[in-house]
Amino acid sequence: MSALALEEQLDAIDPLRHLRQHDELDLVPAQPPSVHNQTLELAFPPVSIRLLVDASPGCGGIAWPAGEVLSTYIARRGSLQGKHVLELGSGTGLVGLVAGMLGADVCITDQAPLLPIMERNVALNNLSDCVSVLELNWGDPLPRNLPHFDLILAADCVYFEPAFPLLVQTLVDIASRDDPEILFCYKKRRKADKRFFTMLKKKFSWEEAFDDPDREKHGKDAISLLRLARRR
How far apart (Å, rounded) are the C-alpha atoms in residues 126 and 143? 26
The binding site for S-adenosyl-L-methionine comprises: 64, 89-91, 110, 138, 155
Contacts of 41 (CB under 8 A, 6+ apart): 48, 49, 50, 51
Phi first, then psi, for residue 167 (nearest 5°) are -65, -45
CB 65 within 8 A of CB 91: no
The binding site comprises: 64, 89-91, 110, 138, 155
How far apart (Å, rounded) are the C-alpha atoms in residues 107 and 104? 10
- For 124, the 3-state DSSP assignment is helix
Phi first, then psi, for residue 230 (nearest 5°) are -70, 130
Instruction: Quickly count: other Cβ atoms within 10 Å of residue 159's Cβ.
Output: 22
CA angle 204, 208, 210 (to 5 degrees): 145
Reported as type and span, the H/E element at residue 42 is strand 38-44
CB 229 within 8 A of CB 205: yes
Reported as type and span, the H/E element at residue 109 is strand 105-110
